[in-house]
Chains A and B, each alone.
Chain A
């Protein structure tokens, strides 16, 4: 089982801007989970309404695959540098 990303490191360096951020994504997931639980009756109702048209199954698969994409982001690293600017994004 793959877990969602826990940290995101963003670093931007330019002529006027220079900052680095460690975003603690692991603090966000409990909040997202709580929101999902609260919204789950609405989601279920929407799926049931869409089911006869064949879109209910599709929307469930979209939800599942979106979560997979999110979990698969661990290890993503983008590092772009030019002479005066630099952008670095890393998902841990």
Chain B
């Protein structure tokens, strides 16, 4: 049994996650395993090469309103995201409960206590696949990607 699988089952046994959540995590783990078996070297290379998270808002050249659009160009080092997320794992238990409560109020069923350092690494690794490309009717072209 793999380490991650064991962790998920432990969390389920300790009632930190529900059966549905455990099922979803196990499925995700299985999918990740099959992906990594396909091209492990390419995957590893891509994850290590990702250095920055970029957020850009640029005018869409095809739009008539392109002159009035604000321009945003943000570059966040992946190491800063990693360090910041590790810092959030140090939130005191009392504050975590408040965060969980606030998330529940917003309709987000997420337990901050269940986030472990290994999960953070996995999450940041998965960011390498992130790509958001939105063109709004106002003539804005929003892009979120990793480079």
Residues of A that sit less than 8 Å from B by CB:
2, 58, 61-62, 65-66, 68-69, 71-83
Whether A77 and B83, one on each chain, are in contact in the complex, defined by CB atoms closer than 8 angstroms, is no
Q: Is the contact region of chain A dominated by helix, strand, or loop, or is it mixed?
A: mixed
Q: Are B77 and A74 in contact (CB under 8 A)?
A: yes
- In the assembled complex, the CB of A63 is this many whole angstroms from the nearest CB of chain B, namely 10
Which of A58, A69, A75, A82 interacts with B70 by CB under 8 Å?
Answer: A82
Stretch at the interface among B14-22, B33-41, B86-94, B98-106: B86-94
Q: What is the minimal beta-carbon distance from A59 to any residue of chain B, in angstroms?
A: 9
Q: Is B48 an interface residue when CB atoms closer than 8 A count as contact?
A: no
Contact B52 A75 (CB under 8 A): yes
- B74 and chain A: residue at smallest CB distance: A78
Note all chain A residues with C-beta closer than 8 A to B73.
Answer: 77-80
If A79-B73, A83-B68 touch, whether A73 touches B90 (CB-CB below 8 Å) is no
B82 is an interface residue with CB less than 8 A from chain A? yes
A82 to B57, CA, bound (A): 11
Query: Given A58-B90, A76-B75, A77-B75, A65–B70 Cβ distance below 8 Å?
Result: no
Specify which chain A residues have a CB less than 8 angstroms from the CB of B77 in the assembled complex.
72-76
What residues on B are CB-neighbors of A82 within 8 Å? 70-71
- B72 near A: Cβ within 8 Å? yes
Interface flags for B49-92 (1: CB within 8 Å of A; 0: not) read 00110000000000000011011111111011011101100101
